[in-house]
Amino acid sequence: MKLYNKTKVAPDILDAVLVAAGRCTKARTTGAVVKVTQGHRACSSGYAKRANFVNTWHLRRVRKWKEERVNTDGGYFSIVLPQRFSTWDALDLAVSFFQVAIHEWVHIADFQAMSRGEFRAFDYARAGSRRRKHDTRPEELRAIDTTDAALERGAVSRNQDAIIALALEIERVSRG
Ligand SMILES: [Zn+2]
């Protein structure tokens, strides 16, 4: 996984949670590009895009004339690590981050399957353009279902060490 970490959380801790989430899906994690940013809201969110490469200015601050491409494996996703508020438990935040990561990996798995011609890109025709109400799109329903199924099979407890390590990091970072 090519991790672009724009948070204060240690990259190896993010990496462990993100790869664990990817393993709950059919995605190949090795070549995927993942960008993590620090959010100001109390919940995690993300978006995935189908792409063969990403321009580095999407990933980090670069000089305009130094634009480069980073190859992806089917696509990339961006995910927000929420900030800890007094009303929010760091463990809840870590779990929500893990769940959103599974969801985005399902999209990556779909993009990778499309690259192999396993299903039609038509299903994702509206990706990148104006979208219908988020949760009604078939790819969204599939991502939600797959994530729920992984959670029901115990994805959180199976990966609790990585998730707890992230929660401790969120605590550490929020203490400044
Ligand atoms: Zn989605």
Q: How far is the CA of 66 from the centre of ligand 1 (A)?
A: 31
* Domain assignment of residue 109, given as a range: 2-175
Residue 163 is encoded by which pair of tokens?
């998730």
Residue 106 is encoded by which pair of tokens?
């399902």
19-78 pLDDT, tens digit per residue, is 999 999 999 999 999 999 988 777 789 999 998 888 876 676 656 666 678 889 999 999
Averaged confidence pLDDT in the chain: 86
Residue 124 DSSP symbol: G
- Asked whether the beta carbons of 56 and 70 are under 8 A apart, the reply is yes
Q: How far is the CA of 101 from the centre of ligand 1 (A)?
A: 10
Residue 135 is encoded by which pair of tokens?
């949760």
Per-residue model confidence (pLDDT) at position 62: 58
Please name which of 7, 1, 2, 20 lies closest in space to residue 159, comparing C-alpha atoms: 20
The structural domain count of the chain equals: 1
Per-residue model confidence (pLDDT) at position 148: 95
Q: How far is the CA of 176 from the centre of ligand 1 (A)?
A: 32
Block residue for tokens 């401790």 = 168
Q: How far is the CA of 125 from the centre of ligand 1 (A)?
A: 14
Q: How far is the CA of 145 from the centre of ligand 1 (A)?
A: 11
Q: How far is the CA of 112 from the centre of ligand 1 (A)?
A: 15
Q: How far is the CA of 137 from the centre of ligand 1 (A)?
A: 9
Q: How far is the CA of 3 from the centre of ligand 1 (A)?
A: 19
Average pLDDT over residues 76-90: 84
The whole-model pTM stands at 0.87
- Asked whether the beta carbons of 161 and 15 are under 8 A apart, the reply is no
